[in-house]
Amino acid sequence: MLAACGRSDGQPPAPPDLAGSAGAAVTVDTLLPAAPLARARVDRALFADATLDTAALRLVVDSAVRLPRLRSVLVAHRGRVVAERYLRGARPDRAANLKSASKSVLATQVGIALAGGAFRGTAQPITELLPDATAALDSAKRAITLGDLLSMRTGLRSVSFAGYGRWVSSRDWVRAALAEPVVEPTGTAGGGMIYSTGTTHLISAALTRATRGSTHAHAVRTLGRPLGIRIPPWTTDPQGISFGGNEMRMTPRDLLRLAETLRAEGRAPADAPEPGRAVVPAAWIDSMWTARGRSGYSGHAYGYGWWIRLAPGARAAHPVYFAWGYGGQFAFIVPGLELVLVTTSDPDVADRDRGHLGALHAALDGAVRAAGG
């Protein structure tokens, strides 16, 4: 059981809005960068003389592997894997359930689809994205945009947490998510973040319609092949739409390779089939990593499908952009230090162990200090 095309009006597509102006960034933390990639370039220059303290990093990894729920931990620094451990049945060739870290992969796919003209931009309304499912909606719901979906500021009541079982048991996940009452204004109207996997499933449905193929097929074509990573099929809804925002699977090494691609401003890493190939538009990475809301649950900022926080270093605080899945599936990216840390954990735990999650965040902070930050 589950755990936690062109325009519809027949007009030619306008140039894609990769800068993500719809659902504009909000002031959630004055210390978070408004231009993430520009900030990363400045930081790389400032910390170019920093060297990796391998003994300190070893202590960080040794501490992490004692966590009973951890299954793998991988660290890359300046494009080179410097630590890689597998535990309790995990293997380099065994795909792990990313859980909600899938949301970050899906958001990355949207940027590629935008660049290819499948979407008009982040201001495109849901009535164009899903015309059949939205025909009878009221004006508040019809005002929802692609940017609202990506930033989880649709105003719709969440189907995650207490409502999750009811939602995934419904006959039509898209219509069930849209049937939820409006409890806040949309992001465009100043509303806050409401975390909901129903929202990201609407993105998968829109991507399916826009590309005239499954979200899985799109992931394989746009990420799997150019990066040389394996993305097996995952759960679909009763209508055959790939689950948007949950249940995607990758090996930890493949998740690391995707994270390394984003750290390198969208260019494939050295071990990819075509090293240096532009896979993800850099402007879209900027959009994904620009804070647009904040979670009332975790306190972390949220952009387009990616979480954001600051990591305290010995010399400065560093922006961290991360994918986060239930149980402790993480891909942490610290572009200013050219640092990536990936963890996978037991995905089937019955409780949300904040102690485990806190320990993984502490591991990231330790890795930042070991990298000279």
- DSSP notation for 183-196: -S--GGGT------
pLDDT tens per residue, range 313-356: 999 999 999 999 999 999 999 999 999 999 999 999 887 777 99
pLDDT tens per residue, range 236-256: 999 999 999 999 999 999 999
Q: Could you read off the pLDDT tens digit of each residue along the chain, which spans 373 residues?
A: 454 432 222 222 333 445 444 444 444 556 788 899 999 999 999 999 999 999 999 999 999 999 999 999 999 999 999 999 999 999 999 999 999 999 999 999 999 999 999 999 999 999 999 999 999 999 999 999 999 999 999 999 999 988 899 999 999 999 999 999 999 998 877 889 999 999 999 999 999 999 999 999 999 999 999 999 999 999 999 999 999 999 999 999 999 999 999 999 999 999 999 999 999 999 999 999 999 999 988 999 999 999 999 999 999 999 999 999 999 999 999 999 999 999 999 999 887 777 999 999 999 999 999 999 8
Lookup result for tokens 């320990």: 359
Identify the H or E element spanning 77. strand 70-77
Query: How big is the CA angle at 338 (ends 80 and 268), to the nearest 5 degrees?
Result: 65
pLDDT at residue 3, rounded to an integer = 45
The Cα–Cα gap between 373 and 370 comes to 7
The pTM for the full model equals 0.92
Cross-strand partners of 81? 76
CATH of 33-94+252-373, one of 3.40.710.10, 3.30.70.260, 3.90.550.10, 1.10.3720.10: 3.40.710.10
The beta strands (E) that lie in 268-370 are given as 293-294, 301-302, 307-312, 317-325, 329-334, 339-345
Class of domain 99-250: alpha beta
Span(s) in the chain for CATH 3.40.710.10? 33-94+252-373, 99-250
